[in-house]
Amino acid sequence: MIVDAILSPEFLNAALRATTPILFAALASAIAAKSGVINMALEGILLFTALFGVIFSSAFQSAWLGLLVTMVMGGLIGFLLAFFVLRLKTDAILAAIAINLIADGATILILLAVSGDRGISSSINSIIIPRITLPIIENIPFIGAVLSNQNILTYVSLIMVVLVHIFLYKTPLGLQIRAVGENKDAAESVGISSDKIRYISLTISGVLASMGGFFLSGGYMTRFTTGMSAGRGFIALAASAMGGNTPIGSFLVSLLFGGAQAISNILQLGTLPHELVQMLPYATTLIGLGLYSYSKMKKRQRLTGK
């Protein structure tokens, strides 16, 4: 029965939906990593922007204006991380951990201050981004049921895979980002400011991650709930690393983790303990990282002969 459910177009539709926030954050991680800085603050950015999405879409009574302002806020958080790391010389991991910890408590405080709600934004009349059907494609058996009737941001995330690939590998700025990440000193020797490039990369990273945060509360769900990022930022970091910090690789691994999330949603309807089922996406991440690390170790051994 479970196998039939997994092979159904409805499951693949749900898997694609669950992949969306992970994919946005994985692309954000890939851009930051290409510049030589690991953006471990993705979890905090997702959580902050999920709340901002609810607040601003309600304030403007427009999902699109809410998304736009949320993207600006996400970019500012990415810029703030860059400021701490590049200007104040803070350790990148410690600065990211600080943002993640602040997000966990600050979102609760902001939600309480803005609406008086505790835990869930039940009194905020937020506007969500709608789903759309794709003409012609919706009439194709199986494929139509998978690809059509998705949230607009799901389609945007797929388009962003292509756009980020073009940006990183076909544009002068993308070349500079990769040059700084591969050899900062060599890049600076030809007049490239490594700090400027990393500021830009982390700001773009924050903008991309914010789209995933907005989707969580304005597409995947219709409300903000505390802790709703639920480790997706860390899963995205794993997806990006396992995908070689490339847009296409990040997409494929994100799809794997999104599928694991969709499977856990199906299993929650069964008789298995709720807590055990909820572990599936994170267990999949750990297993995936283990296999990835093992393959890298074997490859290194073959190259060095040790």
- Burial class for 170, CB neighbours closer than 10 Å (0-12, 13-18, 19+): exposed
Q: What pLDDT was estimated at residue 14?
A: 87
Taking the C-alpha atoms of residue 102 and residue 106, their distance in angstroms, rounded to an integer, is 6
Q: What pLDDT was estimated at residue 141?
A: 85
Residue 127 region, left (φ>0) first, then alpha (ψ -120 to 50), else beta?
Answer: beta
The domains of the chain are located at 2-304
Q: Which of 192, 156, 177, 212 is nearest to 35 (CA)?
A: 177
Placement of tokens 């999104």 in the chain: 258
CB contact at 8 A, 199 and 86 = yes
CB contact at 8 A, 86 and 200 = no
The pLDDT tens digits of the residues spanning 106-129 come to 999 999 999 888 889 888 988 999
Q: What pLDDT was estimated at residue 5?
A: 63
List the chain residues with pLDDT less than 50.
Answer: none
**68 alpha-carbon distance from chain centroid:** 17
Taking the C-alpha atoms of residue 134 and residue 136, their distance in angstroms, rounded to an integer, is 6
Query: Phi and psi of 4, rounded to 5°?
Result: -60, -40
2-304: CATH architecture: Orthogonal Bundle (1.10)
Q: What pLDDT was estimated at residue 176?
A: 95
CB contact at 8 A, 214 and 21 = no
Q: What pLDDT was estimated at residue 274?
A: 65
CB contact at 8 A, 78 and 92 = no
151 sits in which H/E element: strand 150-151
Query: Phi and psi of 183, rounded to 5°?
Result: -160, 95
- Six token digits for residue 242: 């396992």
Taking the C-alpha atoms of residue 115 and residue 124, their distance in angstroms, rounded to an integer, is 7
